[in-house]
């Protein structure tokens, strides 16, 4: 697959059918990577997905009219956390991987976030080395781990907390300040937009 033929754009409510189909595929194919479940979201009507796109920010990667990947951005609420945002709901179809689509989606989120926040946070299941390498390659730094973050069918999953400091200058080594009390209430592996 040629990454040059991929269009990255913000999803609109008119994309709700394609978004729903890819979101449900993500929840079915990689249940450990998301805070939501296939059972929960597959029961929702199309209007629910349309509402999410209308009230949130989700980027999509398209080849022609086919949606291959998604990544969302959520700005934290509250005066004291409004300088932070979250990369959420990242997923690329298995047959579209290794073409740079994930990188393009994350770069779109970063480009948007630069005008909105100072830091982008995410969390990724500890065993997902491929995603961890991708995020690290784009400048995200691991700053913690949330043990037993997700539980599905009696199995616990730890999540690695990562962040990208959008305010650092070129002389910085990229390390995030220590974040002992850091909270990542919504994760990159959870919903694509706030529930």
Over residues 5-46, the pLDDT tens digits come to 899 999 999 999 999 999 999 999 999 999 999 999 999 999
Does a structural domain hold residue 59?
yes
Please tell me the predicted confidence (pLDDT) of residue 166.
97
- What is d(CA 178, CA 11) in angstroms, rounded to the nearest whole number? 35
* Mean pLDDT of the 165-172 span: 69
Please tell me the predicted confidence (pLDDT) of residue 67.
98
Q: Indicate the pTM of the whole model.
A: 0.84
CATH number of the domain within which 132 lies = 3.40.630.30
By the 10 Å C-beta count (0-12 exposed, 13-18 middle, 19+ buried), 126 is classed as middle
Does a structural domain hold residue 104?
yes
Range of the domain at 108: 3-165
* pLDDT band (50, 70, 90) for residue 187: very low
* pLDDT at residue 4 greater than cutoff 60: yes
Does a structural domain hold residue 195?
no
Please tell me the predicted confidence (pLDDT) of residue 79.
94
Does a structural domain hold residue 182?
no
* pLDDT at residue 177 greater than cutoff 90: no
Does a structural domain hold residue 181?
no
Does a structural domain hold residue 111?
yes
Please tell me the predicted confidence (pLDDT) of residue 3.
59
Strand 119-125 and strand 66-75: pairing? unpaired
* pLDDT band (50, 70, 90) for residue 168: confident
Please tell me the predicted confidence (pLDDT) of residue 5.
87
Does a structural domain hold residue 141?
yes
For 78-117, write each residue's pLDDT tens digit: 999 999 999 999 999 999 999 999 999 999 999 999 999 9
* pLDDT at residue 190 greater than cutoff 60: no
For 53-81, write each residue's pLDDT tens digit: 999 999 999 999 999 999 999 999 999 99
Question: Sign of the C-alpha dihedral, residues 32, 121, 112, 79?
Answer: positive
Please tell me the predicted confidence (pLDDT) of residue 1.
59
Task: Give the residue carrying structure tokens 């595929």.
Answer: 25
**3-class state of residue 52 by DSSP:** helix
Does a structural domain hold residue 11?
yes
* pLDDT band (50, 70, 90) for residue 178: very low
Q: Total domain count for the chain?
A: 1
């Amino acid at each position: 697959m040629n990454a040059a033929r991929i269009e990255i754009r913000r999803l609109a409510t008119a994309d709700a059918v394609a978004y729903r189909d890819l979101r449900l595929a993500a929840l079915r194919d990689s249940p450990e990577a998301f805070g939501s479940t296939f059972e929960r979201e597959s029961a929702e009507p199309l209007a629910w997905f349309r509402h999410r796109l209308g009230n949130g920010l989700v980027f999509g990667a398209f080849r022609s009219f086919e949606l291959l990947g998604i990544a969302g951005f959520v700005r934290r609420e509250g005066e004291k956390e409004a300088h932070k945002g979250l990369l959420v709901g990242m997923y690329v179809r298995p047959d579209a991987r290794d073409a740079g689509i994930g990188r393009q989606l994350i770069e779109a989120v970063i480009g948007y976030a630069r005008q909105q926040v100072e830091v982008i946070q995410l969390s990724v299941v500890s065993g997902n080395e491929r995603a961890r390498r991708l995020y690290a390659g784009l400048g995200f730094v691991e700053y913690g781990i949330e043990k037993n973050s997700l539980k599905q069918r009696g199995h616990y999953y730890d999540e690695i907390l990562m962040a990208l400091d959008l305010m650092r200058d070129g002389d910085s080594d990229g390390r995030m300040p220590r974040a002992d009390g850091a909270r990542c209430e919504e994760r990159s592996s959870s919903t694509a937009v706030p529930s």
